[in-house]
Amino acid sequence: IVDAICFGESMVVVAPDPPQPLCEGPPTRLGCAGAESNVAIYLAGMGLHVAWRGRLGTDPFADLITGTLNAAKVDTDLVETDPNAPTGVYFKDPQPTGTQVHYYRSNSAASHMGPGFMDCMPSCRLWHFTGITAALSNSARALATEIPKVSGASLTSFDVNYRPALWSPQAAQAVLRDIANRVDIAFVGLDEAHALWGTETPQQVRETLPGAGTLVVKDAANGATAFGPMGPIWAAAPTIDIVEPVGAGDAFAAGYLYGLLTDAGTKASLELGHLFARSALSVAGDIGPLPDPHDIAALAKPQ
Ligand code: KDG
C-alpha cells in the first residue's frame, strides 16, 4: 500500500545563484518546484512510499522534474504528460524586501487537471494537496473541490497555500474555506488566514474552519496549534536565522505528516513540522536537507 499520494502542479524554478535581483541579470540555476512535490520529496526521503501525481508537458522541463523526483525516490508512475501544453515555470526574484515570484504557468499542462483526475488511484493511506490547485483554472478548481468526496478510505491532507500572485482574497476565500472545512487535516498560516478571512487569532481561524478534522494553524516564528479531537495542542517554534522562507510551509506539512503516518502523536508531529521547516528556512532553495536523524528519532518514536 502506498503511504501518500501528493498531487498538484510542479514547475521548473529559475533562481538567481547567488541570490540577486533578476533585473541585474545574475547567473541562474534551474530546479524542480511545487508545493506538493516538495512534500513528496521529504516523505520519500524518510523512507515512505510516496507517489506524486500531476500533469507535465513533453518538454525538457518535464524531464527535469521527473528526474529530480525519481532521484529523490518519489514514484512518478502516476504522472500524466500532455504534448499540447507546456510544463509551468517560475522565477524567483530576491529583493532587499524579500523574495518575489513570477509565474509562467497559465495554460500549463497542470492547469488542465480537472474532475476525475484522482479517480482510480492505488489504495493509499493519505492524499495531500493544496489550495494552489484551486487557483490554476476552473477545471483544476473543480478537481480540488471534489477531493474530499472522492478520496475514499484515504485520509485527506490540505495545505491552504494561498498564493496572492494567482488570485485575489475575494476569489479565494470561499473556495479555500469550503475545501478546508471538509478534509481530515488542514494547514494554514495565521497570516494567510488573516488575508483570506480577516481572522486575528488561531481560535478565530478554528471558528472559521470548524469542519477540518484536525486544523493546524501556523503562527510563523512563534509556533503552531493543532485543533483536533484532543483539543488545542501548541508547540513553540525553535529560534533560527532565516535565509529564505520559500518552501518552509511544505517542509512543515511534511514533518507533521511524517509524524501522523508514524503515529508520533499530535505534539510530536507539530515539533517534527517545526524541525523540517527549520531546515527549509536555513537554505536559499525551496527544499532543505532532511533534519538530523537523531532529532527525528527523538520525536517520531511511536507513542
Ligand atoms: O511552497 C513552495 C512553492 O511556492 C514553490 O515550490 C512553487 O508550488 C509553488 C507555487 O505555486 O508557489
As for ligand 1, residues whose beta carbon falls within 6 Å of it are: 33-35, 38, 90, 132, 163, 246-247, 249-250, 286
From the CB of residue 184, how many other CB atoms can be counted at a distance below 10 Å? Answer: 18
Best mutation site among 14, 39, 101, 166 for ligand 1 pocket (most ligand atoms within 8 Å of CB) = 101
Distance 33 CA to ligand 1 centre (A): 6
ipTM: 0.95
According to the model, what pLDDT value does residue 241 have?
A: 86
Strands 223-228 and 214-219: antiparallel
The C-alpha atoms of residue 69 and residue 244 are separated, in whole angstroms, by 22
Kindly report the CATH number that applies to the domain delimited by 2-9+34-88+105-300. Answer: 3.40.1190.20
Is residue 132 within 8 A of residue 164, CB to CB? The reply is no
Q: Which of 250, 263, 286, 292 is catalytic?
A: 250
Q: What is the DSSP letter of 107?
A: T
Query: How many CA atoms lie less than 13 Å away from 58 in the CB half-sphere?
Result: 4
According to the model, what pLDDT value does residue 302 have?
A: 53
Per-residue pLDDT of 121-144, as tens digits, reads 999 999 999 999 999 999 999 999
Measuring CA to CA, which residue among 298, 263, 285, 284 is closest to residue 274? 298
What count of residues does the chain have? 303
The C-alpha atoms of residue 96 and residue 228 are separated, in whole angstroms, by 39
Per-residue pLDDT of 10-36, as tens digits, reads 999 999 999 899 999 999 999 999 999
Residue type, 144: A
Is residue 248 within 8 A of residue 286, CB to CB? The reply is no
Best mutation site among 113, 161, 281 for ligand 1 pocket (most ligand atoms within 8 Å of CB) = 161
According to the model, what pLDDT value does residue 145 have?
A: 98
From the CB of residue 53, how many other CB atoms can be counted at a distance below 10 Å? Answer: 23
According to the model, what pLDDT value does residue 249 have?
A: 96
Residue type, 141: R
Q: Report CA 50 to chain centroid distance, whole Å.
A: 14
According to the model, what pLDDT value does residue 284 have?
A: 82
Known catalytic membership, residue 250 = yes
Distance 214 CA to ligand 1 centre (A): 23
According to the model, what pLDDT value does residue 243 have?
A: 85
Is residue 16 within 8 A of residue 26, CB to CB? The reply is yes
Is residue 164 within 8 A of residue 195, CB to CB? The reply is yes
According to the model, what pLDDT value does residue 303 have?
A: 42
Q: For residue 163, which atom of ligand 1 is closest to its CA?
A: 12
From the CB of residue 240, how many other CB atoms can be counted at a distance below 10 Å? Answer: 13
Angle between helices 60-71 and 35-45 (to 10 degrees): 30
Distance 50 CA to ligand 1 centre (A): 19
Residue whose C-alpha cell is 479555500: 176
Q: For residue 8, which atom of ligand 1 is closest to its CA?
A: 8
Q: Report CA 138 to chain centroid distance, whole Å.
A: 20
According to the model, what pLDDT value does residue 236 have?
A: 94
Q: Exposed/middle/buried for 64, CB within 10 Å: 0-12, 13-18, 19+? A: middle
**Per-residue pLDDT tens digits of the chain, which is 303 residues long:** 899 999 999 999 999 999 899 999 999 999 999 999 999 999 999 999 999 999 999 999 999 999 999 999 999 999 999 999 999 999 999 999 988 999 999 999 999 999 999 999 999 999 999 999 999 999 999 999 999 999 999 999 999 999 999 999 999 999 999 999 999 999 999 999 999 999 999 999 999 999 999 999 999 889 999 999 888 999 999 888 888 888 999 999 999 999 999 999 999 999 999 999 999 998 888 899 999 999 999 998 654
Is residue 286 within 8 A of residue 280, CB to CB? The reply is yes
